[in-house]
A and B are shown apart, each in its own frame.
Chain A
Amino acid sequence: DQQVKQNSPSLSVQEGRISILNCDYTNSMFDYFLWYKKYPAEGPTFLISISSIKDKNEDGRFTVFLNKSAKHLSLHIVPSQPGDSAVYFCAASEGTGNQFYFGTGTSLTVIP
């Protein structure tokens, strides 16, 4: 049961341009969303979060947008840097739970 979906397994972007990673979810009870970055042979690293009371959260080069009616969130990275090359996971949870549901990840490659 894929409650969180990342339909693009990979994405390539030129250095300096914008990277847009997308995530869709099916459970309307999800109210907290996170993005994680994962390098090979390492654990996921928290990047940015957003709660359902907001539609945008910004932290430096990273901005997460939430469209609750479409059950869609996206992560924008601008400008993209080669060090951003990693697998990006979105994750979601319901308000009363501790369980996070992860997407399958999108592998981002930033080309110098």
Chain B
Amino acid sequence: QKEVEQDPGPLSVPEGAIVSLNCTYSNSAFQYFMWYRQYSRKGPELLMYTYSSGNKEDGRFTAQVDKSSKYISLFIRDSQPSDSATYLCAMSAGSGYSTLTFGKGTMLLVSP
């Protein structure tokens, strides 16, 4: 079993849809959770950062962490064609420059 599992997609939705992206993980030591967005031929860009369980909202984006289920989600409301990208989840176990473990990424396509 891989440490972090993420459906590669592609996930195709119409503009305006609510998008749900998910990752599951096996290492119960993970405490810090991140979502990155990566456009084609670009480096990953940090979108959301959360610690432990709970929700965090930033504009159209909501990150949700359920440590009891080892499951994290990223919701995108009112999706736009400019949201079309690959979304990578990442997580780490501790503070102090811990290494990150990444999912493979989910490709999202938002059609106008």
The yes or no verdict on A and B being binding partners is no
